[in-house]
Amino acid sequence: MKNYSTKVFRTSLLGQPMAMLCGPEGNKFLFSNENKLVTLWYPAYLDKIFPKVDNADSGVTSTTNKQIKEIRKQLPAVLKLEHMINHVGMMDTVMKQQLHTEWNREKITVVPTLTKFTLTLSCRFFLGIEDPKMVEEIYVSIKEIDPGIMSIPINFPGTYFNRAIKASKVMRDMMKLFVRQAKNDLQEGCASESKSFMMHMLRTADENGQFFSDSYVAHHVYGLVEGGYGTLTSTLTFIMKYLSEFPHVYDEVLKEQIEIAKSKESNEVLTWEDLRRMKYSWNVARESMRLMPMAIGGYREVITDFTYAGYKIPSSWKLYWMAKATHENPDYFPNPKKFDPSRFEGKGPPPFTYTPFGGGARMCPGHEYARIAILVFMHNVVTKFRWEKLIPDEKVVHTAIPTMSHGLPVRLHPHKNQFGI
């Protein structure tokens, strides 16, 4: 091994020459050189599932960075913490409704149950849609897309890839209908006071004073709905998995959540101040994301030749960073396979070693959205139930995002009184 660099190595992925940058130094280098030396890159076959749309019309275009910059300028307005704290009550209400309709049985399969919760949140937040029937229509199509993302890209009837392409078109058409209806409501003065991202985009002009086209808005809200439910479902699934495997961790989370529950009036929704008190619960969530990050890593394309760790990396090469390259490194996380929420007490891990949301200019803009949803979920579920896995040795499956091979079936054990004692 002494003959090989621990900082960078060359390989080939997806038919592309690719350099793998390892360690916190590699993460820092990539995150701090966005649009200077590197830029976002995705495999070309994904364009068939997610065609790019120009703001001027509904046609496909090969330029993506300008679009991405524009959409990322709009996202902070609705995803920044000052705005997100106003949605804590809504998320809590949605979770309580889900407990009533989806968790009212002895056994559940966690992944599809959580998908309904996260997709309902995503539709409510990004689209302003509250109708469960509409959410179900979206679910029927969107569940066909993820298997196609990591499948062999053969567009032949019956393949995962083909089904994903068809489902994506159905989703885009559905989003266009939602956008047109919302736009008509705006023009007729009968639009609701929705604070959804879709309404924000329809009310906002770009840097040239032009409003976004229907197709452009539909394209991006679709991407946000798609991105806003799958990774969150994965994270919540593994939190449930680990809490069932480590009863002492569950007990500490329950203790913290009981104190918060006792401070609330009957039927009073959670607030941002309540979430700020969930310090141990958040450390549990962070440790879960360390062991099972919601995204495997990310791709970049080199736009200017550069030298890193003594190696020249030429323009047009692709780069890849992996969260687990540091998450499971004992130099930064001693005994890395152990589930230990105390790692995040005090100063926590060194910079650029913990990257479940990426970093730099490309850091996931929805990280505060995810944090609020995670803590709201943990409070509601832990104060209502204990649970046990029905398949003790169920395997983890790594596709576009990690999941459980059988969806994590569990048996629920409701608490005997209000505060789970």
Nearest alpha-carbon partner for 95 in 367, 282, 373: 373
* Beta pairing class for 297-302 and 318-322: antiparallel
What's the pLDDT score for residue 269?
A: 96
pLDDT along the chain (421 residues), means of 10: 65 84 92 93 89 58 51 67 91 96 97 96 92 92 88 91 94 92 80 73 76 83 88 97 98 98 92 98 98 88 93 92 92 97 93 93 88 98 98 91 95 82 51
List the end-to-end C-alpha distance of the chain, in Å, as a whole number. 53
Binding residues for heme: 364
What's the pLDDT score for residue 1?
A: 36
> Letter for the amino acid at 394?
E
Domain definitions of the chain by residue range: 8-414
What's the pLDDT score for residue 401?
A: 87
CB-CB contact of 332 with 23 (8 Å)? no
CB-CB contact of 228 with 118 (8 Å)? yes
Binding residues: 364
What's the pLDDT score for residue 406?
A: 98
What's the pLDDT score for residue 93?
A: 97
What's the pLDDT score for residue 59?
A: 44
What's the pLDDT score for residue 173?
A: 93
Look up the CATH architecture of domain 8-414.
Answer: Orthogonal Bundle (1.10)
Distance CA 213, CA 211 (A): 6
